[in-house]
């Protein structure tokens, strides 16, 4: 089998252009006088917006009929090690790539009022961060991937540490150390595979496609490699019990930092699993399903219960992330097309919904300088527009039909159900608890009478806030009503992934379909009464049920 | 009976010869330069070092195979050349960062530069030594100059203490090395690495207790020089007390020289004792990394912190020695250049902060630097990232190679320990970043750096980033250095 490295219909390195444009913008800002705050703000937003706009054509140019990588750039980078500069996206990474450009533009716009000091450094950090994140989603050489994976930590460290709240220093270094700890073990695994690849083929390479094509990793070794990658990614997701950095980082980060953290950074963990762990270590992946399912279910329920107990709005949203990401993980490890599609869609949903929730909390914080739930109450009378936006965002997060969360959660749960209905039963409790803590939060802050006089005179949303909330709400409704384009983009990629990681899935499915068809065509053969829905034996029916 | 002494091939020692001429010449010239213009001596030394560096570089193409002279006691191969360039580069940067510092400390004397060149000469001989005696001679030449340099500010108590400590340490090094050499001579009848290796193989001496004892002696001698645990106690005191440019210098160059000599002796001379030295180095490597990093956590003085961090870096480098494969040598070679960039840079920053009455080596002196000197803070972050081994810096690539070498050799647990250590290291390195970016500046006198220092910082800063993003050129050179040892390596 020859490796197919993919194609590039544009003929020029569009992914690199999108990735490095923010970096170029950051370097430009470096030379602008720091007194020109207004110019820096608008320039940074301009760069982020242009970056989003030039990433939109990717959506239209993407060939939905192939799982091969597209918009590929590939050339030798460090010859002595066989490292390549290899960029490309498939149906899964394209969606996350676009999510990143979309959310960064919104995050930059949302910072205009919030950031009051050292604006120049702030916007530089934001733009460098964007470059790092985009690189993670586009890189297909594991050395390159690792470089972006680590580089991105640095600006995030500064974002939390400089512009965060009271305990920012602690949160910033905790975030950095936790993530670095995981990723170093991933680095060890990457190097081990590098030597294994050389051992098998005699060639030095970190190329992801080559690894997939030529490398067979023995079972016992897969086990260790999976665990090392698991450590790197699970900390990032974060999966219980590696989640303790997350509430700290989220609560202490500035609003836009939280948006990026929840919206994009957590997705890197799940993306890492989808991109690397699943296809590279299929046997280990299947072996570890019960283990991961257990951790995910704990995360779903524990995260939701913690959220229920929070007094700080931001912390509540942070714990809800733990719960939601648990569902993403559980659905992914169902290893069927529906589960993985749901998982990817839910990554996007969580990105926009939780991002929007953090923005909502940020808007109210800018007015009242507190995030404690008990300080509020009855706000819907004072700020009706804000209350409406909050309502839609909250409903999207709890999965109301007609909004994006519903589609994502439904697909995820359906995928999990197909694999094992008991897992799904546990996961559903998370959805129920999710509705509980969110509705309760909304009730306590928005409804009732105004008990705190400080809440009386606060201003409703201004034009700029309208500007960045509206695209998010449109996205909620779009995905909620017509998610087909998104499923279309990832369908072929996800099917191929399932073939790689769970090769028996399609065979079994085809066999059972054939048998079902045969049975339905000859209903009398088994001698049952006419009109019986299915002539199959009970045990066989259950089998099909379990698979399809 | 007439004894014929073959004429040695002198062309191989041209760089060393030039160095001798240069150093002696500087001493002469110094006599004619007035006291307040000693800076000129520094410029001359710098120019000389650059010339020697260029001359040394011309050998690279000619030396596809190692060449020996002086009856096989002096060897010139790409490994030696590479390290000579590391020393010359470090010396050049040290001269640049010394120019103004010496004037602030009021010890601007011409001997300083001459001593530095003698020291470099010693190290250049050391890495070319194919005979234990030559290596020993190199070490002594180097050490004698460094003792004086470490105590150059003779009115400063801490400085004098540092010099004395370094001197006592040096005496121990000599003692251990000489004892080791004597034992090897007793066991094999030679001090020449080739012959030692041949005798060990011929007489099957790989488990000879005398040789194992001498291996311990040599490891202790080199270990003292590279400050590996448990012989690292001198480092923090000496690093703190010595003039900062000299601290920067001894944290890189002598360490590199000792590592190069260690590699040559262990790979070339007593390679067959590998089962023994592997166990020894495994333990030492783990202990060195851990002690260095954990102790660095407790330091408030940046020079002391960097001293402990340099102990930790010696631990990472031992991964490469231990691996005993091509990637390992490549890693050591690459890492030393990267280490020269980032460590010289970090110490350069400390010198930059040297103001009247303020030494600039306390973490608090870095407070708010991002607001008063944003560019300087960014440069420091680059050095810190590189020291912590985070891309895209040369330090990351170096660490990557060392990890790769150890993984290739199957030392998974040791690499795991190194990985944990890297996490610890990040914490203390980023305390400086925290002070610079997240704390407010205190009103302090203006900084007035010399032009040489600024130039040095620009050079090492650019190199740190450039070889992090595009390490290919340096990496392929580093790869070639392993050729000498190919037949000994797994």
With CB atoms and an 8 Å threshold, state whether B475 touches A169: no
Q: Around A527, how many Cα atoms within 13 Å sit in the side-chain half-sphere?
A: 0
Q: Which residue of A has its CA nearest to B368?
A: A162
Which positions in chain A touch B374 (Cβ < 8 Å)? Answer: 121
How far, in Å, CA of A140 to CA of A478, rounded? 31
Residues in a beta bridge with B301? B362
How far, in Å, CA of B123 to CA of B44, rounded? 20
Q: Which residue of B has its CA nearest to A165?
A: B438
Yes or no: say if B83 and B336 are a contact pair by the CB < 8 Å rule: yes
Which positions in chain B touch A173 (Cβ < 8 Å)? Answer: 427, 430, 434
Q: Which residue of B has its CA nearest to A153?
A: B390
Q: Any chain A CB within 8 A of the CB of B384?
A: no
Question: Between A224 and B363, whose confidence is greater?
Answer: A224
pTM of the model: 0.91
Which positions in chain A touch B415 (Cβ < 8 Å)? Answer: 188
Q: What is the pLDDT of residues B70-119, one digit of tens each?
A: 888 899 989 999 999 999 999 999 999 998 888 888 777 888 999 999 99
How high is the mean pLDDT of chain A? 87
Q: Any chain A CB within 8 A of the CB of B412?
A: yes
Which residue in the set B390, B416, B472 is minimally distant from A79, CB to CB?
B472
How far, in Å, CA of B252 to CA of A430, rounded? 56
Residues in a beta bridge with A89? A70
Q: What is the pLDDT of residues A2-54, one digit of tens each?
A: 788 888 888 888 899 999 999 999 999 988 888 888 899 999 999 999 999 99
Q: What is the pLDDT of residues A188-200, one digit of tens each?
A: 999 999 999 998 8
What is the pairing mode between strands B74-76 and B67-69? antiparallel
Yes or no: say if B470 and B403 are a contact pair by the CB < 8 Å rule: no
With CB atoms and an 8 Å threshold, state whether B419 touches A169: no
Q: Which residues of B176-187 are buried (b: 16+ CB within 10 A; e: fewer)?
A: bbebbbebbeeb
Q: Which residue of B has its CA nearest to A183?
A: B419
With CB atoms and an 8 Å threshold, state whether A185 touches B476: no
Mean pLDDT of B408-412: 90
Show the DSSP H helices in B264-301 as ranges. 274-297
Please give the backbone phi and psi of residue A27, each rounded to the nearest 5 degrees, phi first.
-65, -35
- Which residue of B433, B477, B481 is the best one to mutate when testing the A interface, meaning the one whose CB has the most A CBs within 10 A? B433
The pLDDT assigned to A523 comes to 60
Q: What is the DSSP letter of B446?
A: P
Tell me: pLDDT of B282 over 60.
yes
Yes or no: say if A355 and A102 are a contact pair by the CB < 8 Å rule: no
Tell me: pLDDT of A129 over 80.
yes
The pLDDT assigned to A545 comes to 46
With CB atoms and an 8 Å threshold, state whether B403 touches A191: yes
Return the residue matching tokens 């604006």: A119
Which residue in the set A81, A153, A169 is minimally distant from B438, CB to CB?
A169
Q: Which residues of B470-485 are buried (b: 16+ CB within 10 A; e: fewer)?
A: ebbebbebbbbbbbbb
Q: Any chain A CB within 8 A of the CB of B396?
A: yes
> Residue B61's CB: how many other CB atoms inside 10 A?
8
Q: What is the pLDDT of residues A460-494, one digit of tens each?
A: 888 888 888 999 999 999 999 999 999 999 999 99
Mean pLDDT of A78-93: 90
The pLDDT assigned to B86 comes to 94
Which positions in chain A touch B406 (Cβ < 8 Å)? Answer: none
Tell me: pLDDT of B2 over 80.
no
Tokens of A202: 């005699």
The pLDDT assigned to A444 comes to 87
In chain A, domain spans: 333-502, 512-547
Return the residue matching tokens 């290739």: B408
pLDDT band per the 50, 70, 90 thresholds, residue B1: low
Structure ipTM: 0.91
Yes or no: say if A353 and A476 are a contact pair by the CB < 8 Å rule: yes
The winner for highest mean pLDDT among A312-316, A369-373, A518-522 is A312-316
Yes or no: say if A207 and A257 are a contact pair by the CB < 8 Å rule: no
Residue B97 to chain A, least CA–CA distance (Å) = 27
Q: Any chain B CB within 8 A of the CB of A173?
A: yes
Q: Is the dihedral of CA B111, B143, B253, B196 positive or negative?
A: positive
* CA proximity to A280, closest of A113, A481, A448, A500: A500
The pLDDT assigned to A546 comes to 45
How far, in Å, CA of A467 to CA of A461, rounded? 10
Q: Which residues of A260-296 are buried (b: 16+ CB within 10 A; e: fewer)?
A: bbbbbbbbbbbbbbbbbbbbbbbebbeebbeebbebb
Q: What is the pLDDT of residues B425-470, one digit of tens each?
A: 999 999 999 888 888 887 766 777 788 889 999 999 999 999 999 9
Yes or no: say if A69 and A90 are a contact pair by the CB < 8 Å rule: yes
Q: Any chain A CB within 8 A of the CB of B466?
A: no
With CB atoms and an 8 Å threshold, state whether A80 touches B426: no
Tell me: pLDDT of A251 over 90.
no
The pLDDT assigned to A475 comes to 92
* CA proximity to A251, closest of A327, A310, A296, A179: A310
The pLDDT assigned to B103 comes to 82
How high is the mean pLDDT of chain B? 89
Which positions in chain A touch B396 (Cβ < 8 Å)? Answer: 147, 150
Q: Any chain B CB within 8 A of the CB of A161?
A: yes
Q: Is the dihedral of CA B123, B125, B129, B131 positive or negative?
A: negative
Q: What percent of chain A has pLDDT over 90?
A: 47
pLDDT band per the 50, 70, 90 thresholds, residue B288: very high
Question: Based on C-alpha coordinates, what's the Rg of chain A?
Answer: 24
Tell me: pLDDT of B336 over 90.
yes
Which residue in the set A78, A158, A188 is minimally distant from B415, CB to CB?
A188
Q: Any chain A CB within 8 A of the CB of B481?
A: no
Burial of A219 (0-12, 13-18, 19+ CB in 10 A): exposed
**Element holding B382 (H helix, E strand):** helix B374-388
Tell me: pLDDT of A306 over 50.
yes
The pLDDT assigned to A531 comes to 46
**Element holding B76 (H helix, E strand):** strand B74-76
Residues in a beta bridge with A84? A76
Length of chain A: 548
Q: What is the pLDDT of residues A147-171, one digit of tens each?
A: 999 999 999 999 998 888 888 888 8
Q: Within its chain, how far is the Cα of A538 from the centroid?
A: 40
How far, in Å, CA of B295 to CA of B237, rounded? 13
The pLDDT assigned to B253 comes to 93
pLDDT band per the 50, 70, 90 thresholds, residue B65: confident
Indicate left, alpha or beta for A278 from its phi (over 0: left) and psi (-120 to 50: alpha): alpha
With CB atoms and an 8 Å threshold, state whether B434 touches A184: no
Yes or no: say if A69 and A140 are a contact pair by the CB < 8 Å rule: yes
With CB atoms and an 8 Å threshold, state whether B390 touches A153: yes
Q: Any chain A CB within 8 A of the CB of B441?
A: no
Q: Which of A273-277, A390-394, A524-528, B403-407 has the lowest mean pLDDT?
A: A524-528
Q: What is the pLDDT of residues B346-379, one digit of tens each?
A: 999 888 887 766 777 788 888 888 888 888 899 9
Q: What is the pLDDT of residues B6-45, one digit of tens each?
A: 778 888 889 999 999 999 999 999 888 888 888 888 999 9
Yes or no: say if B482 and B330 are a contact pair by the CB < 8 Å rule: yes
* CA proximity to A249, closest of A310, A296, A311, A315: A315
The pLDDT assigned to B387 comes to 93
Q: What is the pLDDT of residues A43-54, one digit of tens each?
A: 999 999 999 999
Which residue in the set A80, A181, A191 is minimally distant from B472, CB to CB?
A80
Interface of A with B in 180-209 (CB under 8 A): 180-181, 184-185, 187-188, 191-192, 194-195
> Residue B30's CB: how many other CB atoms inside 10 A?
18
The pLDDT assigned to B357 comes to 67
Yes or no: say if A197 and A215 are a contact pair by the CB < 8 Å rule: yes
Tell me: pLDDT of A529 over 50.
no
């Amino acid at each position: 089998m020859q490796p197919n490295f993919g194609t590039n219909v544009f003929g020029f390195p569009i992914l690199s252009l999108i990735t490095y444009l923010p970096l170029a913008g950051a370097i430009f800002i470096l030379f602008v006088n720091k007194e020109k705050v207004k110019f820096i703000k608008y320039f940074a937003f301009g760069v982020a917006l242009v970056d989003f706009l030039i990433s939109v054509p990717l959506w239209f140019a993407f060939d939905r009929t192939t799982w091969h990588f597209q918009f590929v750039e590939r050339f030798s980078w460090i010859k002595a090690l066989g490292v390549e500069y290899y960029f490309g996206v498939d149906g899964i990474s394209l969606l996350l790539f676009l999510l990143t450009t979309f959310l960064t533009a919104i995050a930059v716009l949302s910072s205009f009022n919030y950031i009051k000091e050292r604006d120049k450094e702030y916007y530089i950090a934001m733009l460098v961060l964007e470059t790092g994140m985009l690189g993670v989603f586009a890189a297909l050489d594991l050395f390159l991937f690792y470089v972006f994976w680590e580089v991105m930590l640095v600006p995030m460290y500064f974002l939390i540490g400089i512009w965060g709240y009271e305990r920012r220093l602690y949160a910033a270094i905790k975030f950095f150390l936790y993530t670095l700890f995981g990723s170093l073990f991933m680095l060890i695994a990457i190097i081990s595979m590098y030597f294994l690849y050389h051992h098998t083929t005699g060639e030095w390479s970190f190329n992801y496609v080559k690894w997939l094509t030529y490398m067979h990793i023995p079972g016992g070794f897969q086990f260790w490699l999976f665990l090392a990658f698991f450590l790197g990614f699970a900390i990032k997701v974060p999966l219980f019990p590696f989640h303790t950095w997350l509430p700290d980082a989220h609560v202490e980060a500035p609003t836009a930092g939280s948006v990026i953290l929840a919206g994009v950074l957590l997705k890197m963990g799940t993306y890492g699993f989808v991109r690397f762990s699943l296809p590279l270590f299929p046997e280990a992946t299947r072996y570890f399903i019960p283990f991961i399912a257990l951790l995910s279910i704990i995360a779903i329920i524990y995260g939701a219960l913690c959220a229920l107990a929070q007094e700080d709005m931001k912390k509540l949203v942070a714990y809800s992330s733990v719960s939601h990401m648990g569902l993403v993980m559980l659905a992914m490890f169902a290893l069927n097309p529906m589960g993985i599609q749901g998982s990817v869609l839910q990554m996007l949903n969580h990105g926009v919904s939780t991002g929007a929730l953090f923005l909502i909390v940020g808007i109210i914080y800018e007015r009242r300088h507190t995030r404690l739930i008990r300080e509020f109450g009855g706000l819907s009378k004072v700020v009706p527009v804000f209350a409406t936006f909050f309502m839609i965002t909250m409903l999207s997060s709890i999965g109301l039909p007609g909004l994006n969360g519903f589609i994502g959660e439904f697909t995820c749960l359906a995928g999990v159900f197909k694999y094992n209905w008991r897992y799904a039963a546990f996961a559903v409790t998370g959805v129920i608890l999710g509705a509980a803590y969110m509705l309760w939060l909304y009730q306590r802050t928005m409804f009732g009478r105004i008990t705190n006089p400080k809440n009386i005179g606060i201003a409703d949303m201004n034009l700029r806030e309208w500007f960045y909330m509206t695209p998010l709400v449109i996205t909620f409704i779009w995905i909620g009503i017509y998610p087909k384009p998104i499923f279309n983009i990832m369908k072929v990629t996800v099917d191929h992934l399932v073939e790689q990681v769970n090769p028996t899935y399609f065979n079994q499915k085809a066999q059972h379909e054939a048998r079902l068809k045969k049975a339905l065509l000859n209903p009398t053969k088994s001698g049952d009464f006419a009109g019986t829905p299915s002539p199959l034996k009970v045990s066989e029916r259950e089998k099909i049920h379990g698979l399809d | 009976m007439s004894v014929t002494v073959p004429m040695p091939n002198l062309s191989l020692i041209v760089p060393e010869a030039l160095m001798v001429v240069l150093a002696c010449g500087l001493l002469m010239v110094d006599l004619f330069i007035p006291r307040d213009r000693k800076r000129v001596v520094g410029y001359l030394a710098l120019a000389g070092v650059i010339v020697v560096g260029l001359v040394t570089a011309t050998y690279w193409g000619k030396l596809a195979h190692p060449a020996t002279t002086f009856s096989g006691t002096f060897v010139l191969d790409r490994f030696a050349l590479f390290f000579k360039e590391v020393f010359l580069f470090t010396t050049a940067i040290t001269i640049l960062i010394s120019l103004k510092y010496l004037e602030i400390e009021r010890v601007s004397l011409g001997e300083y530069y001459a001593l530095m060149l003698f020291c470099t000469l010693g190290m250049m001989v050391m890495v070319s030594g194919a005979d234990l005696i030559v290596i020993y001679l190199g070490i002594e030449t180097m050490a004698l100059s460094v003792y004086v340099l470490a105590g150059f500010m003779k009115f400063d108590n801490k400085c004098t203490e540092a010099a004395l400590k370094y001197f006592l340490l040096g005496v121990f090094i000599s003692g251990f090395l000489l004892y080791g050499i004597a034992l090897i001579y007793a066991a094999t009848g030679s001090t020449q690495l080739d012959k030692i290796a041949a005798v060990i193989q011929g007489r099957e001496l790989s488990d000879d207790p005398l040789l194992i004892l001498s291996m311990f002696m040599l490891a202790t001698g080199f270990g003292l020089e590279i400050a590996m645990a448990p012989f690292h106690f001198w480092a923090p005191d000496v690093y703190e007390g010595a003039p900062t440019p000299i601290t920067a210098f001894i944290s890189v160059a002598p360490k590199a020289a000792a590592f190069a000599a260690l590699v040559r002796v262990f790979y070339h001379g007593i390679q067959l004792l590998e089962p023994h030295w592997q166990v020894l180095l495994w333990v030492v490597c783990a202990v060195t990394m851990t002690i260095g990093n954990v102790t660095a956590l407790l330091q408030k003085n940046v020079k002391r912190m960097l001293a402990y961090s340099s102990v930790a870096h010696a631990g990472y480098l031992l991964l490469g020695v231990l691996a005993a494969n091509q990637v390992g040598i490549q890693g050591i070679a690459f890492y030393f250049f990267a280490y020269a960039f980032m460590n010289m840079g970090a110490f350069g920053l400390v010198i930059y902060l040297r103001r009247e009455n303020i030494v600039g080596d306390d973490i608090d002196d870095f407070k708010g630097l991002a607001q008063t000197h944003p560019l300087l803070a960014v440069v420091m972050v680059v050095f810190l990232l590189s020291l912590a081994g985070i891309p895209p810096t040369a330090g990351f690539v170096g660490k990557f190679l060392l990890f790769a070498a150890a993984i290739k050799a199957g030392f998974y647990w040791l690499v795991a320990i190194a990985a944990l250590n890297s996490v610890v290291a990040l914490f203390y390195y980023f305390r400086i970043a925290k002070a610079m970016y997240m704390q407010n500046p205190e009103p302090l006198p203006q900084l007035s750096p010399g032009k040489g220092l600024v130039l040095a910082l620009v050079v090492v800063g650019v190199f740190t980033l450039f070889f992090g993003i595009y390490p290919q050129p340096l990496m392929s050179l580093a790869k070639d250095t392993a050729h000498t040892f190919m037949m000994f390596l797994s």
